Structure 1
């Protein structure tokens, strides 16, 4: 592995970049991925999730999804999963389904 290739064994660090309306995942000080959101009165609407090419296949997307859903839960907010990645993650991990309102579950086929 070259020194410029990020190590998939390094832990991810997460932050909420409120100015850009996105949660970010960093590995070894480098931006690895992000989940963009809009804030609604009682909900976070996730609109887009992206993992940067150098970090693909290293679990960044799943780690980011776990983090943002945990953040929504900790803040007492529901989730509107417009982003297909977040919706797909919830389908695979039904323990997060309670974060999505019944109307949103129907709309996003959860």
Structure 2
């Protein structure tokens, strides 16, 4: 399955929120929670086999970075995948807590 135009949606929950991409019944997600001091903690990135090799996990993290930057928030990447993405993208240093 090839990814079409990527439309990542944000779903806010009572405790945990997420960014999600859906296509043909499959979902890729990044879950996070916000702290009261302007920080976002990314705690999980999950990409099903249907999306493997398409950079979907990286796109989810990039969306979180873009939104955090726009909101003046910082990110704590506690998820190992998100932490690795931050290491690959030094231009994100301004939003890393």
TM-score bracket relative to the smaller structure: 0.7 to 0.9
1:47 and 2:43 aligned: yes
TM-score (norm 2): 0.86
Q: Summarize the alignment of residues 13-24 of structure 1 with structure 2, pairs less than 5 Å apart.
A: 13-19=7-13, 21-24=17-20
Q: 2:26, 2:50 within 8 Å by CA — same for their partners in 1?
A: no
In structure 2, relative to structure 1, the CA distance for the partners of 1:89 and 1:69 (3 Å cut) is same
1:84-105 per-position Cα deviation (integer Å, ceiling 9, x unaligned):
111110100000011123xxxx
1:61-86 per-position Cα deviation (integer Å, ceiling 9, x unaligned):
11111111111111111001101111
Q: Once superposed, which parts of structure 1, at least 4 consecutive aligned residues long, lie more than 2 Å away? A: 29-32
Q: Larger Rg: 1 or 2? A: 1
Between the two structures, name the one with larger relative contact order (CA 8 Å, sep ≥ 6): 2
TM-score (norm 1): 0.77
Distance 2:72 2:32 in 1: 16
The residue aligned with 2:33 is 38
Q: 1:32, 1:60 within 8 Å by CA — same for their partners in 2?
A: no
Q: How many residues align?
A: 94
Instruction: Give 1:30 deviation, angstroms.
Output: 4.2
The residue aligned with 1:89 is 85
Distance 2:57 2:67 in 1: 15
Structure 2 runs not aligned, ≥5 long: none
1:70 and 2:66 aligned: yes
